[in-house]
Amino acid sequence: MAIARKEKFKLEEIHTKGLGNLLRRIAWRLIAPLPDPLYVRLQYRLIRGAWPNLSNPVMFGEKVQARKLWDRNPLYATLVDKNAVKAWIAERVGAEHVLQVYWAGRDLKSVDWSTIPLPVVVKPNHASGLGRFIYTPEDVAELLADDPSAEWLAVNHYRYNREWAYSQVEPKMMIEQMLVVDGGIPADFRAFVFDGKISHFMVDIRHGETATSCAYGPDWTKLPFYDPEYFPHHKGEVPRPKQFEAMCRIASTLGRELDFARIDFFVSDDSVHVGEITLYPGGGYEGFEPKEWERVIGERWTQRLYNGR
């Protein structure tokens, strides 16, 4: 996947994605003080155009909302922390599947960059869609001159989406090893896993500055659905990854302790690294096309809500 050297991750918070107009943004601010159950219901209604069934959730997105509101598994704080989760992953599947973190803290200006082997990715440990690729000392100088730390550390997924686990994480900046394959980052695959059983993989295909996406089953058969709010549908076939068996083994092992998790991978011909573990994909507002697949995927999730007692 080719990436321009100066490209930065883009913040695509679900609280702004798809709302677009001024009236809805005003509505967003008006509902912010509401308690979590009412806030989540109204947020779902504004984004999805329907009220969620939270007393008996069936759809995948409804079950994500139920997890946000009522699942207080203390393990989740570790899983959503992009730094802390690495030890958890290494213990279960091996350190070779974890990208190295060279530094974590709140002040990038305190880093001794002479000890950091470039290239790296600089990102926060508690937020999605934010980061910067650093290849050269000139990139380091640009990063420090335009230090995004304060803005990034202020991102609050709990406040935006009421994703409880993020309220348990201390925000920090990270400097992480970057994998480079053919001049860009490796291909990425996202495994949806229920009680250790893989439902499907979402696959992103880059085409220069654009991208498409599609889904494949655990036997690498292409599935007919995609997320129209994410990338357009990729109509062609994607070759089965050479590391597919390793991906399946790792995803099943990591997902075995959870009723649902999305395991995100960076994959090359000779390596598999877990990028992160996601508990609330898209805040529970991702779309499915055809729409009936949201029910199909939701029915694969036998939900166990841990109330902390």
Q: Is residue 95 part of a domain?
A: yes
pTM of the model: 0.90
Count of structural domains within the chain = 1
CATH of the domain at 53: 3.30.470
Q: Write the DSSP string, 40-71.
A: HHHHHHHHHSS----SS--SHHHHHHHHHHH-
Mean pLDDT of 154-177: 94
Decide: 84 and 78 in contact? Cβ < 8 Å: yes
> Strand ranges (DSSP E) for the chain?
101-105, 120-124, 132-134, 173-177, 187-194, 197-207, 210-216, 222-223, 261-268, 271-278
The pLDDT value recorded for residue 308 is 60
- Pairwise CA distance, residues 161 & 179, whole Å: 31
pLDDT the model gives residue 137: 96
User: Over 70: is that where the pLDDT of 9 sits?
Assistant: no
> Does the pLDDT value for residue 217 go beyond 80?
yes
Task: State how far the Cα of 40 lies from the Cα of 137, in Å rounded to an integer.
Answer: 44
Q: Note the pLDDT tens digit of each residue in 12-37.
A: 343 444 445 577 678 778 898 999 99
174 belongs to a structural domain = yes
282 falls within a domain: yes
Residue 31 lies in a domain: yes
Q: What is the C-alpha to C-alpha distance for residues 301 and 108, in angstroms, rounded to an integer?
A: 41
- The parent domain of residue 64 ranges over 22-299
Tell me if 14 is assigned to some domain: no
